[in-house]
Amino acid sequence: MTTSMAGAGSYLRPTQAYPSRTTLTPADALPVAGADTGAATGNAKPGIPVSAFKAIDIKALDTSGLKAISIRDVPEIRDRMAASWLTKQAADARVFTDVPDNAPQNIYATVKVNGKVVATLYNGGSSAMTNAAAGKVGDLQDPPGLSGGPDLAQWRAEHIAKAVGGTVEKASTAITQSAWKPRQTTSTEYTRAQLDAAFEAMMAERQTAIGQRSAGYSTPHESSGGYTDFSA
């Protein structure tokens, strides 16, 4: 401690204390011979030593009694798959053969106001209107007995024209009710022969697809003498 005197007063300034430092060497980390290891054991991490495990008797699973079941042997699943395949085939065919109801070649008539088309009627009976025309027409209820076709298109055209104050102009593509053919609905009832044939066709398609994928992953190319690496 340092004592300083200045005139009549005095003050004491304690000496700054620094903590002592201990330098450890690798030898200090080694256990002392004969020392009690109980404390060290108490501070050890919890766990089970490998030596505590006993040998486990692992037996191979006996698969001799198991039998692989083919879809062919499950009639309910097989028929469902065949029916779905037939439905998809019919839907795909309609995409390429059917003409939409609102196609230009199916226009029955138009409704015009001051020379401007505000509504278009189609041979199937459906209609398309501008927002303004639809607001004036409101909820148009079709009469009983008219479920579709040119007759329904004519009835709608007249009522739309009356509501908007326009005129009806029949298109050159308009047809008569007798010439109109309603769209056929896809049947979901199939015969036993249809389901069986569909299932075989479906399986044949699947085998072809598997073969094509397998051919695509073939690495040797005899023509170039090289190979393709798909690991990149």
pTM exceeds 0.85 for this model: no
pLDDT band at 149 (very low <50, low <70, confident <90, very high): very high
Structure token pair of residue 107:
């226009």
What pLDDT is attached to residue 24?
55
Q: Which residue has the higher pLDDT, 131 or 29?
A: 131
What pLDDT is attached to residue 203?
87
Does some domain include residue 207?
Answer: no
95-116 CB burial, b ≥16 within 10 A, e <16? eeeeeeeeeeebbbbbbbbeee
- Distance in angstroms (rounded) separating the CA atoms of residues 219 and 212: 14
Does some domain include residue 162?
Answer: yes
Does some domain include residue 166?
Answer: yes
Does some domain include residue 51?
Answer: no
Residues of the domain holding 108: 104-170
Does some domain include residue 133?
Answer: yes
Query: How many residues can be counted in the chain?
Result: 232
Segment 78-99, tens digit of pLDDT = 888 888 888 888 777 766 667 7
Q: Which residue has the higher pLDDT, 76 or 46?
A: 76
- Distance in angstroms (rounded) separating the CA atoms of residues 120 and 85: 37
Does some domain include residue 59?
Answer: no
What pLDDT is attached to residue 53?
59
pLDDT band at 232 (very low <50, low <70, confident <90, very high): very low
What pLDDT is attached to residue 52?
61
Phi-psi region of 231 (alpha: psi -120 to 50; beta: other; left: phi over 0): alpha
Q: Is the pLDDT of residue 14 over 50?
A: no
What pLDDT is attached to residue 110?
97
What pLDDT is attached to residue 226?
44
What pLDDT is attached to residue 47?
66
What pLDDT is attached to residue 55?
59
Q: Which residue has the higher pLDDT, 179 or 6?
A: 179
Does some domain include residue 44?
Answer: no
Q: How many domains does the chain have?
A: 1
Structure token pair of residue 227:
């190979």
Does some domain include residue 6?
Answer: no
What pLDDT is attached to residue 30?
54
What share of the chain in percent tops pLDDT 90? Answer: 28
What pLDDT is attached to residue 187?
64
